Each structure stands twice: as structure tokens, then as C-alpha cells.
Amino acid sequence: MDLYQLPQFKGPNFKFPNFLKNKSFWLILLVIFLSSSFGFLAGMVSGSFFYFEIKDYLSEFDIELPEVQQIIEKEYVSQSTQEELVIKAVKNNDPAVVSVIATKDVPVFEQQFYNPFEDFDQFFNDPFQLQIPQYEQQGTEKQEVSGGTGFLVSEDGMVLTNKHVVLDEEADYTVFTNEGKNYPAEVLARDPFQDLAILKINQEDSSAEKFKIVKLGDSGALQMGQTVIAIGNALGEFRNTVSVGTVSGLGRTITASGGGIVETIEDVIQTDAAINRGNSGGPLLNLKGEVVGINTAMVQGAQSIGFAISINKAKRDIEQVKQQGKIVYPFLGIRYVLITEKIKEEEGLGVDYGILILGGESGKLAVVPGSAAEKAGLQERDIILEFNGQKITLENSLVKLIQKYSPGEKVVLKILRQDQEKIISVVLGEKSN
């Protein structure tokens, strides 16, 4: 027989086994079942009692028992979960992201034609007359000259954006919300050292409803590989476009150009989230929906390399504008070059760190007249080695060090002048927008 065969029951001829008719068998089975059930319940009750007794006892010694329900896998985020977080972050912040449009009175020219040889042609009765086009101004009309992105940081209408978005002081600025509403806005302050600016929406109705604002995060907690979300007015046309990527670099230093200015920006966030023209000034979010950066630049010709200014730097600007109505920085008043091995060799210096005070092209002075540096006696070709006891290096630049202080504070500089070290005290000046 190849397969097991089950017994077949054949109608009324089937008989139950004798042991199934025995009452003792069923009684024993019932006792076993009840014993198991009561044993299980007793184990649960005694275990819970024992756990809470031990917990109360150990609490006197500041010892905590682990809660099983709190053990959650935090490192792994499923694809569906990440997608939900992105959608939630965008949904919560989208109403606070705005488009910033600059308009300006632009001359209007009309094309006309004239014949410089009109008198000559009439004299000779020449049927072939020369017609040369010329353009004459026929007044002006307001036209859109640039556009960017910003986001609301106060319920009364303060908008944070890039400085290069609102650089033109002669332009008028309008803020467009995602709901299709538009408001005139004025520039409250432009950061003198960073690509940041703050606008204020002007509302005719003082009792207008409050604006929805973003939540500011901590850019100092960012890590390489962390997921980030960029929102912006892509190409100046596609409002509130969303792109997702990762933090691909931290603490970068870049030299950005645009709008007729060239600016070196330190300690920026590098991301592969697509940042296109028009995205400037938009928020860079983490998966919690917090703003961790302000999208500011992209690399032309590269594959998804963009940069954002850390939100921790912008927090200072926001608070200063709220309290003082302007952005203020401590100011030393020198032009300089950071000393590297190359600069050391080119200038014949005896040190490979610090900064060399040096004049610029077209006769630009090394020391600004009337500045804190001039009052302290600093001179061209002095080398500043330390700022208040800290070495000045590529990683620890003068910009980073000086921003820790306020105008009016006294600092100590260690300088090298003609191969001799000197200690100089400086009372920092003020630089504002």
C-alpha cells in the first residue's frame, strides 16, 4: 500500500470506541482543561504583581525597567512610511510657501523708420528710398523683472527669502500665496554678509486673518544621507514645486554669483534635491516638516548639486529684525586673504595659517577708514593669527569667529607684523543692511 488510507464509516454499522463511553475519561479531560486555564490566569496575575512590586522597589534606587512597548525600530523607515512623511511635510508647509515677484517701470520703445538721405532722394527724384529703423522711448510700463520663493516666518506676514531675490532697491515686490492671493510687500532688511533678506507683507486691513507659518528646525542636527524636501517656484513659473533628495554634504563653502554680485557663503548644506532657477529663497525641510535650510544656489552643468543656507543662521536675522528692525553684525573693517600653502609661498610668509590684510584691485584699501581695525592700529600686510584666543584656519574662519560676538564687544587679536608677534585689543564696530 503506497498511501495511508483513512477508515471509512459505513452508516449504522459504525460503533464508538468503548473508552469514549466511559464517564471517568471525560471527567479527567475536564480536570486537565480547567487546571491549565486557571494555571495560565494565575501566572498572568502573579507575573503582573511581581513586575509592579519589583518596579516600585527599584524606583527607590533610580533604576528603571525597560518598557517592552517602547522598544521601537527607529533606524529603519519603510518606503511607504517615508512617502507618508514627505506628503505630510509638504501638506503642512505648502500654505506658508510664497512666490516673490519683482516688478519695475521699464522703458517702452517704439520702432520707427527714417531716411538719412531724404533731401538727396527728393532732389534727384529717386524712387528707391533708404529706410533705417530707429527706436524712440514712448514712456514706461511696469513689467516683471525677476522672481523667486520665500516662506512665512511670522503670523503678521514676515517672509524670509534670499537677498539676491530682492536685490533691486528700485523694484516693487509682490508676494503670491499658494491660494492665489497677492499682497504688496516691502523689504525690511537685507543681510550684509549672507544671502538672506526679510520682507513684510502689507495688509490694508489690520484685522486680517493671521498667516500660516513654517516651523523652524535645527540645522545643526542634520546628518549626511538624511532625507530632505525642497519647495519652490521652479523656473519662476511652476509655483510650489516639490523635490526630494538627501543631504549630500555639510559645512561647504561656495562662491555664488547672480544679479551682478559675487558672494562667498560659508557653512552651507549641499543637497541633491533638485533646486532650479526660481527655487531661491524656498524652504528645505526634514521629514518632520521643519525648515532646516533656505535654498540658495545650484551648480550649472552638474547633476543635482544644490546648496542651502542653514536655518540656524537665519534665526538670528529674524529675531534682530523683530526686535531692532534691522540686521546687525560686528564689523572689523579689513580686506584680507586666508593664508594657505599657496598664499604662503606666493607672498613669502613665515606662517601657513591666519589671514593676511591686503588691499584689493582698483586701489581698494586694506583697512577701512574709520573702522574698528583702523582705530586699533591694524595695517596692511599685518597677519592676524588668532581672534580672541582661537586660531584662524580654513575650518575656523574669521567669519565664523566674529559672528559669535556683538558690536561694541572688546576682543583680543594676536598679529604678526614684520615677523614680530603683537597683541592688539579691538572694540568691534557695527555693520548693518
* Residues that are catalytic: 164, 195, 280
Q: How many CB atoms are located within 10 Å of the residue 238 CB?
A: 12
Secondary structure (DSSP) of 298-331: E-TTSSS-EEEEEHHHHHHHHHHHHHHSS-EEEE
Which H/E stretch holds residue 46? helix 23-59
370, 349 contact by CB (below 8 A): no
Q: Is the dihedral of CA 266, 270, 273, 275 positive or negative?
A: positive
Q: Which residues contact 141 (CB under 8 A, 6 or more apart)?
A: 105, 106, 108
SS3 content of the chain, % helix, strand, coil (to 5): 25, 35, 35
List the one residue out of 371, 350, 264 whose CA is nearest residue 309.
264
The single-letter DSSP state of residue 8 is P
DSSP string, 177-233: -TTS-EEEEEEEEE-SSSS-EEEEE--S-TTPPPPP--EE--GGG--TT-EEEEEEE
